[in-house]
C-alpha cells in the first residue's frame, strides 16, 4: 500500500491533469460547428409555445433535458440548478424541459420550490431531435442532459453545445463531495424526500476503515 504523502502527491498530480483535460475539452467543444435546429413546439400552462419563446428576448438559452418528476436523479440536478438560477439568468435564459404535462410540472416545481421556467415535451420530438433518447431493454426513453442555444441576427436557432448528465458528472457537486467521505459515494442514491434520521450525526463506528 502506498504511503499517505506519496498517494496525496499522486492524487494532486492527477487532479491537475484532469483540470487541464477539462480545459482542453472546452477548447475542442468551442471548435465544433453550430447546429441549426427547428423552432420546436412545446407546452406550458398557457398552452402551445415554441422553443424561440423560451429565449424570452435573450440571445442565448440553456435547456436542461429532464426525465420528469419520477426520476430522483433528475430532481437532484434540478434542485442544484435552482440554487444558482439568478447567476444562470444573468448570462442566458434558462428552462427545464421534461415529458411531464405542464400541470404535473407546475405541481412538482412548487413542491420543490423551483424558480425556473418549465416546458413540456410530451411527444418527445424535441428531446429526440436533440439526441437525448436512449434505447434500453427494447424500449426508448429520455435521458437527462443540457443543450445550449443562441438566436442569430438572422433569426436562426443554433445549438452551440450539449452534454449528457450522469452520476459523477460535473453538473452535480454532490457526487464529488461524497467522494471525499470515508466510504465515498457508496450505495447512496438520491431521493425526492429523506427521513429526518438521515440528518442525524452518525457514530464514527459506522464508517468502514
- The partner residues of 44 in beta bridges, in order of sequence, read 47
Q: What is the pLDDT of residue 23?
A: 83
Query: Residue 185: is it exposed, middle or buried by C-beta count within 10 angstroms (0-12/13-18/19+)?
Result: middle
Write the pLDDT tens digit of every residue in 29-73: 778 889 999 999 999 999 999 999 999 999 999 999 999 999 999
pLDDT at 26 over 90: no
CATH superfamily of 28-164: Glutaredoxin (3.40.30.10)
pLDDT at 94 over 70: yes
Coil, helix or strand at residue 12: helix
CA distance 101 to 167: 26
Instruction: Tell me the whole-structure pTM to 2 decimals.
Output: 0.84
Write the pLDDT tens digit of every residue in 2-15: 567 788 888 788 87
Amino acid at each position: 500500500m502506498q504511503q499517505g504523502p506519496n498517494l496525496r502527491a499522486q492524487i494532486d498530480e492527477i487532479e491537475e491533469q484532469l483540470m487541464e483535460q477539462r480545459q482542453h475539452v472546452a477548447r475542442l467543444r468551442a471548435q465544433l460547428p453550430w447546429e441549426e435546429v427547428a423552432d420546436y413546439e412545446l407546452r406550458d400552462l398557457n398552452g402551445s409555445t415554441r422553443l424561440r419563446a423560451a429565449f424570452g428576448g435573450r440571445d442565448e438559452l440553456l435547456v436542461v433535458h429532464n426525465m420528469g418528476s419520477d426520476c430522483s436523479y433528475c430532481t437532484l440536478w434540478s434542485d442544484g440548478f435552482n440554487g444558482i438560477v439568478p447567476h444562470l439568468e444573468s448570462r442566458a435564459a434558462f428552462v427545464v424541459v421534461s415529458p411531464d404535462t405542464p400541470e404535473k410540472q407546475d405541481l412538482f416545481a412548487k413542491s420543490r420550490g423551483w424558480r425556473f421556467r418549465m416546458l413540456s415535451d410530451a411527444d418527445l420530438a424535441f428531446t429526440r431531435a436533440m439526441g437525448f433518447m436512449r434505447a434500453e431493454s427494447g424500449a426508448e426513453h429520455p435521458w437527462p442532459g443540457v443543450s445550449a442555444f443562441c438566436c442569430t441576427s438572422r433569426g436562426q436557432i443554433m445549438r452551440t453545445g450539449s452534454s449528457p448528465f450522469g452520476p459523477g458528472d460535473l453538473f452535480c457537486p454532490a457526487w464529488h463531495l461524497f467522494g471525499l467521505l470515508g466510504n465515498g459515494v457508496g450505495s447512496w442514491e438520491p431521493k425526492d424526500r429523506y427521513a429526518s434520521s438521515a440528518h442525524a450525526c452518525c457514530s464514527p463506528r459506522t464508517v468502514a476503515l
